[in-house]
Structure 1
């Protein structure tokens, strides 16, 4: 499963709900200004409520933030 997700989550054997969530997280990570109400509608259609959408957004954003901080400070580099 891990290898399939690393290769391409869009073809990995995951649920449509997970794929929809990952589509949103990838978009948020690449350019959060492109996230729109339509993305939230897709998440709702996949079964996420407002609280779930908020949690997905907060968790992905926090990981993006902390990784950028670590990269800027050279954490983990030799």
Structure 2
């Protein structure tokens, strides 16, 4: 990563909060955190958008959309980070998450969860081909208009964040608390 990130020993304000959060949780400051700390106002805006989205769809749906979008764009940073967030939040067991990571369509998820992941995947790989039929599939499994918009925003903002990390060539850190089998499942190429 060529950009110079704010040094840990001189971090103040929101940057210090970002660094302290990583240090408290994991004992290190992730490279992706350092990269986003270059523009703390943008990071705060990103966090505010997440906070505006999650209440209508819930953490589980947000994480499923995030994982599907991150997988579709090949973002190891986000797959590892959100894989662990999914586990820490108790949204899935490690075995369930491994199955979802390998093939969400054959992982025992309910129809709504599969629809969310398929929608986020398509938004991330072929957004220009999306039609009302894609949103209608979400409506058919019970999502409201607000939830459809928020699922869309969750996947689209994951594209934004993931692609920014990729464009900046941010190194991928090892994420503590993930087994090698789960890391392999999260990072295995999409078939």
Q: Which residue in 1 is equivalent to 2:140?
A: 45
Structure 1 residue ranges (4+ consecutive) displaced by more than 6 angstroms after TM superposition:
none
Tell me whether 1:66 sits opposite 2:161 in the alignment. Answer: yes
Give the TM-score normalised by the residue count of structure 1. 0.93
Distance in 1 between residues matched to 2:171 and 2:108, nearest whole Å:
31
Q: How many residues align?
A: 78
Q: Which residue in 2 is equivalent to 1:8?
A: 103
| SS in structure 2 of the partner of residue 10 of structure 1 | helix
Once superposed, what is the RMSD of the aligned Cα atoms?
1.3
Per-residue Cα deviation, 1:34-74 (whole angstroms, up to 9, x for no partner): 11101111110110011000000001100111111111111
Distance in 1 between residues matched to 2:119 and 2:106, nearest whole Å:
16
Distance in 1 between residues matched to 2:167 and 2:134, nearest whole Å:
30
Per-residue Cα deviation, 1:4-51 (whole angstroms, up to 9, x for no partner): 011100000111111011111111010111111011111101100110
Give the TM-score normalised by the residue count of structure 2. 0.39
